[in-house]
Amino acid sequence: MEFREDLIDLLRVAGSVVVVTGSGVSAESGVPTFRGGDGLWRRYRAEDLATPQAFSSDPALVWEWYDWRRGIVAKAKPNPAHEVIADMERYYPDFLLVTQNVDGLHRKAGNERMVEIHGNIWRVRCVAELDERFLYDNPLEVIPPKCECGSLLRPAVVWFGESLPFEGLTTASEGIQNCEVFLTVGTSGVVYPVASFPMLAKSSGASVVDINKDATPITSIADHTLMGKAGEILPELWRAIKG
């Protein structure tokens, strides 16, 4: 796989790098994407399941979907794309990973300087007390799961129409406005506010690099577009950078 010299030079000497990932980075770990060929939403419509309204009208249905996804994620392992992104955290002096994924695979691969900006599928929140905790039961013993206080537990993820965590959003925005290189991997660039991050990076003077299997709205603003599978491109790119 050939890469442009200026891309290799850029990534070899960068001091500050922000990486934003979407479900495409976990596709080669066997976790279905949202909008691709085997997209999760293809079988289910987002508005039917990943919204507060859906949960309040049918918490069991929403939990059936999440329990099914938790089962898939439990068997998934980080793939070479996750491994390279974990290596990047050790290599770059100033590094931040912002993931839209709730599967926890980046943390499994070793990333720590990271924001799970849409939450984590293994965390749950009591709808009454609002405290969060991990719930690793797989499969769930009871659907929908309940808190000791008797109230429902919900997935501690960000649903459509819900605000993203303030702290995570602030960390991400600050990182993006101060980075030299902004790398997106496996995101369709359609879900806001994360979809606005590439333009924020560009307008803040960063070089935008996009790795994706397909063209997306990010393609038109990226300085470098690497089209293909993240699990194949990233290891090759990383070998070229580290020489």
Q: Which residue is nearest to ligand BV8 (CB)?
A: 24
Rounded Cα distance, 143 and 173, in Å: 37
Residues 6+ apart with CB under 8 A from 171: 96, 115
Q: How far is the CB of 162 from ligand BV8 (least distance, A)?
A: 6
Closer of 16 and 225 to ligand BV8 (Cβ) = 225
Q: How many CA atoms lie within 13 A of 195 on its CB side?
A: 8
Cis peptide before 59 (omega within 30 of 0): no
How many residues can be counted in the chain?
243
Spell out the residues 6+ positions from residue 135 whose beta carbon is closer than 8 angstroms to its own: 122, 123, 124, 145, 153
| Closer residue to ligand BV8 in complex, CB, 39/110 | 39
For ligand BV8, the closer CB: 15 or 37 = 37
As a whole number of angstroms, the distance between CA 237 and CA 162 comes to 36
Q: Considering the complex, what minimum distance in angstroms separates the CB of residue 93 from ligand BV8? A: 27
Q: Write down the least CB distance from residue 83 to ligand BV8, Å.
A: 14
Nearest residue to 134 (alpha-carbon basis) of 153, 151, 150? 153
User: In the complex, what is the shortest distance from the CB of residue 13 to ligand BV8, in angstroms, rounded to a whole number?
Assistant: 25
Q: Which is nearer to ligand BV8, 176 or 230 (CB)?
A: 230
Output the smallest distance, CB 206 to ligand BV8, in A: 19
N- to C-terminal Cα distance for the chain?
A: 14
Could you list the active site residues? 118
Between 16 and 51, whose beta carbon lies closer to ligand BV8? Answer: 51
Using CB under 6 A, list all residues that contact ligand BV8.
22-24, 27-28, 33-36, 39, 50, 100-102, 118, 157-163, 186-188, 190-193, 212-214, 216, 229-231
**Sheet of 153-157: strands edge to edge?**
132-134, 119-126, 153-157
